[in-house]
Amino acid sequence: MRAVVQRVRHAKVTVGGAETGRIDSGILVYLAVASDDGGSDLDYVVEKVLNLRIFEDEERKMNRSVLDTGGGVLVISQFTLYGDTRKGRRPSYNRAAPPQQADALYRRFVDAIAARGVAVATGAFQERMIVLSENLGPVTILVDSKREF
């Protein structure tokens, strides 16, 4: 499972012109599921994302997590995080999970965030989305459950 996590001042997502999710201060998470992902991958990424110390404390040091700040989380499914560009010009998505498996783990991820008492918003799985955000910092962190980077 892979996630791109951005600290944002605000973010929103629309599908077909209708807003499906919005947060103020918090994190925007682009999430991809691999075909060999399971519960341990899910648990690792949930814990890592929620506990990343990427928000500033009173001394302007990044010592606070989204749990500490009470911020929201906007989760966007994005299988293209598994795009392999090592050969040719067209990315290969062979490692990405098939839609049914990916959707199930995506929904479990969202539910796990909400279960921790965090306000969570989402896009729409397998839909063309417009995501607008204001990256604060900028701060962008990569998370991979297989620890490939």
DSSP characters over 48-59: HHHH---EE-TT
In a domain, 126, yes or no: yes
- The answer to whether 124 touches 78, Cβ cutoff 8 Å, is no
In a domain, 58, yes or no: yes
In a domain, 57, yes or no: yes
Q: Which of 79, 101, 109, 125 is catalytic?
A: 79
For residue 110, pLDDT over 90 is answered with yes
What is residue 83's DSSP assignment?
Answer: -
Cα separation, 123 vs 104, whole angstroms: 15
pLDDT digits (tens, 9 = 90+) for 10-66: 999 999 999 999 999 999 999 999 999 999 999 999 999 999 999 999 999 999 999
pLDDT digits (tens, 9 = 90+) for 63-82: 999 999 999 999 999 999 99
Look up 80 and say whether it is catalytic.
yes
Q: Domain limits at 135?
A: 2-144
Domain count, the chain: 1
Look up 101 and say whether it is catalytic.
no
Q: Which of 55, 78, 109, 122 is catalytic?
A: 78
The predicted pLDDT at position 148 comes to 92
The predicted pLDDT at position 149 comes to 87
The predicted pLDDT at position 45 comes to 98
In a domain, 149, yes or no: no
The predicted pLDDT at position 127 comes to 96
